[in-house]
Structure 1
Amino acid sequence: MRKLENSELDRKTVNDFKKADKTPLIIILDDIRSLHNIGSVFRTADAFLIEKIYLCGITATPPHKEIHKTALGATETVAWEHSKNVSEVILKLKTEGTTVLAVEQVENAHLLDQFKIINNQKYALVFGNEVYGVSQEAVELCDGCIEIPQLGTKHSLNIAVSAGIVIWDLFKQLKA
């Protein structure tokens, strides 16, 4: 086995990325404090050709050197928009026919390993504050909630890790 060289990875240019067909997933980050989490989510969104990221509330926006440290240029490829109010973004997406799901631990949440997508449906995933999670107001506006099954003592994952897990799972289903 031999590690591939960067030149062998068939990386898209920024222009190629912008022209490429996107995965019908939208990410909503609400009140995310960590600039590194924001950058990491951008990088994951780039890896899976995610359609767009909404940065809501106190979530910082590019350009910012701390976001850039982990995004590694993904802020230049992935479409993004800032909104002060996450509720407005959720309602807007729902009127456009997007299914909006909070990633949160709530009553009657769909466990990620049991959640099945509907073909030809666009989805938006809401990730909330590192301490308080997705707000109750946002949860109530969503079409449902996905919970990542956790078996240890913490029952809490970093936002960037949660985003990577959920995006990968839905990506696999969407591409199947």
Structure 2
Amino acid sequence: MDEDERVGVGPWPGGPAAWPRHQDGTLDERYDPELLEHGDRRNVVDRYRYWTLEAVVADLDTRRHPFHVAIENWQHDLNIGSVVRTANAFLAAEVHIVGNRRWNRRGAMVTDRYQHVRHHPTVADLVAWAQAEGLPVLGVDNLPGSVALEGYALPRACVLVFGQESVGLSEQARAAAVDVLHIAQFGSTRSINAGAAAAIAMHAWVAQHA
């Protein structure tokens, strides 16, 4: 946990007597007495200041978008934390880690506490889950024969799959995808960072549906 103690807010003004309560005088159960007393230094928007972790997740669950994000993790990809953080920012339904269960959480900046993360040992497991849920799988990679993300009508409910950094989508993921989408590039580099690609694709979904 790397919470920045310079951000956030201090103790609730006015002390315990001013804490948010119900009409019967009991403390509003969304609020954490420890945070109210000592301050809230977490990386959360103001709406959730002083709320318990459970209350924040419960509220997010009422508003989550129906798109999912999956990333292959065969070589302990360091981008996964960034993908999780972005998925939290865009309120994805879930993030799916395919391959190695362990991943570097540092880049998530604690957002994995608020974002549902599911593990699948193989691509086949992910695909079986998606089929059971009725969700089309869309790969994102700049491969020959791929379709431009720009202008593509993304399904409202879907799974966006991203490959391992440097090697891209695995053959199994490509075969499972309804379409593979690429992000337009205009410079000299062959590809962009997987975390950046995931952010662009998620924002494309948000621009169409949110």
The alpha-carbon distance between structure 1 residues 141 and 171, as it changes in their structure 2 partners (threshold 3 A), is: same
**Residue of 133, 152, 155 corresponding to 1:96:** 133
Cα deviation, residue 17, structure 1: 3.3
- Match for residue 10 of structure 1? 46
- Match for residue 75 of structure 1? 112
* Partners of 1:32 and 1:128 within 8 A in 2: no
- Match for residue 190 of structure 2? 155
Aligned length: 164
User: In 2, Cα distance between the equivalents of 1:57 and 1:170?
Assistant: 25
2:100 maps to 1:58: yes
Q: Output the amino acid matched with 2:95.
A: I
2:162 maps to 1:127: yes
- Match for residue 144 of structure 1? 179
Cα deviation, residue 154, structure 1: 1.4
- The answer for unaligned runs of 5 or more in structure 2 is 1-6, 10-43
- Match for residue 46 of structure 1? 88
Structure of greater Rg? 2
2:202 maps to 1:167: yes
* Partners of 1:29 and 1:59 within 8 A in 2: no
User: In 2, Cα distance between the equivalents of 1:6 and 1:100?
Assistant: 38
The alpha-carbon distance between structure 1 residues 158 and 34, as it changes in their structure 2 partners (threshold 3 A), is: farther
RMSD over aligned Cα, in angstroms? 2.2
* Partners of 2:142 and 2:191 within 8 A in 1: no
More strand by share: 1
Q: Which stretch shows the higher mean deviation, 108-117 or 38-47?
A: 108-117
- The answer for unaligned runs of 5 or more in structure 1 is none
More helix by share: 1
The alpha-carbon distance between structure 1 residues 133 and 23, as it changes in their structure 2 partners (threshold 3 A), is: same
Between the aligned residues of both structures, percent identity stands at: 24
Cα deviation, residue 59, structure 1: 5.6
The alpha-carbon distance between structure 1 residues 6 and 174, as it changes in their structure 2 partners (threshold 3 A), is: farther
Q: Which stretch shows the higher mean deviation, 18-27 or 156-165?
A: 18-27
| TM-score for both structures, normalised by structure 2 | 0.70
